[in-house]
Structure 1
Amino acid sequence: MYEVSSFRLYVLRAMYLLVVVGLGIVLWPGIIHHTKQWDLMGGTVVCMLAAFSIMCALGLRYPLQMLPVLLWEIVWKTLWLAIVALPQWRAGHIDEATQGQLFELSFVVLVYIAVPWRYVWSHYVLKQGDRWTIASSRAARKDPKSTLHPA
């Protein structure tokens, strides 16, 4: 298995810290000093971003275990850039709101840089997945040398 260097772990921690501090400045004051009613989408976004910031705070301590949180960020931001921003850019008209969102989401490039991709490849692509059935679990308990249930 690929071993992640201490330097790369600090880069990951810096990424988590950037998210925690950024959302701590922008998002959390509005949650703590909540005065107005949020609409459905606005409230949903605020809650998802609050949860994301909390999960990133855990990433400061457990940078590799919380890596799926950063992968989720990469996926949704890249999808938005490809599905929303790119067609508008190709058509030659990006409205002001989309321009602002495009600027904010373009910082996803930092997450791409911070992620240890060889680790992701070895742990999420090459590594055998967890079992799907109870029968596999029973077989593993009967045969202690089985690869389905490591000792």
Structure 2
Amino acid sequence: MTNPSTEFEVSAIRRWIMRIPFFFTGVLFTFTAWGTLIEHWGTFEPIEGVAFAFWGALSLLAIIGLRFPVKMLPILLLQFGYKLLWIAAVGYPLMSRGELDSSGQDLFQANAMGVVIDLIAIPWIYVIRTYVVEGFSRRDKDSE
């Protein structure tokens, strides 16, 4: 019988590749989100405040992901998902109607680049085996 903890391991090379989006997220969002949160005078609009708070928290989790990339894999999945959803639900419809301004185009390009980086960095076979196959094939005490 195989040891379940070693059956679906992520290679050392893949773990280093996973650190790339963690690094960029940790560095870029730390400066932009935390800089805005700390230096902002007055109040935020509610949705704008949610966005900066989310990015601030995401940056901290990404920094943890530099040390523990496999344990923090759900953060990469979240990042991949929200960027892909933004492109599909917000960016592309605006772009197709010609209503995407220059800052929106920059955001579209940044999200598209992030999706590609996440797509490459995420160990998809590990994700499928761990979260889909193994996750639905056994009954955990946590899921009861």
Q: What's the TM-score bracket when you normalise by the shorter of the two chains?
A: 0.7 to 0.9
Q: Which has the higher helix share?
A: 2
2:26 and 2:60 in contact (8 A); partners too: yes
Structure 2 distance, partners of 1:103, 1:88, is: 13
Fraction of identical pairs, as percent: 30
Distance 1:47-1:92 versus aligned 2 partners, 3 A rule: closer
1:36-75 aligned at under 5 Å gives the runs: 36-75=42-81
The offset of 1:121, in angstroms, is 0.9
| Deviations 1:70-93 (CA, angstroms, capped at 9, x unpaired) | 101111111111112222333344
Structure 1 distance, partners of 2:100, 2:37, is: 30
Structure 2 distance, partners of 1:56, 1:128, is: 24
1:138 aligned partner: none
Please state whether the residue corresponding to 1:122 is helix, strand or coil. helix
Structure 1 distance, partners of 2:21, 2:15, is: 10
What TM-score, normalized to structure 1? 0.78
> Which amino acid is the alignment partner of residue 122 of structure 1?
R
- Structure 1 runs of 4+ off > 4 angstroms? none
Structure 2 distance, partners of 1:93, 1:121, is: 37
Structure 2 distance, partners of 1:80, 1:96, is: 16
Unpaired runs of at least 5, structure 2:
1-6
Structure 1 distance, partners of 2:82, 2:59, is: 15
Please, what is the CA RMSD of the aligned residues?
Answer: 1.8
1:1-150 aligned at under 5 Å gives the runs: 1-108=7-114, 109-129=116-136, 130-131=140-141, 132-133=143-144
Structure 2 distance, partners of 1:128, 1:103, is: 34
Structure 2 distance, partners of 1:91, 1:30, is: 31
Q: Which has the larger radius of gyration?
A: 1
| Deviations 1:105-127 (CA, angstroms, capped at 9, x unpaired) | 11221111111111111111111
Unpaired runs of at least 5, structure 1:
134-151
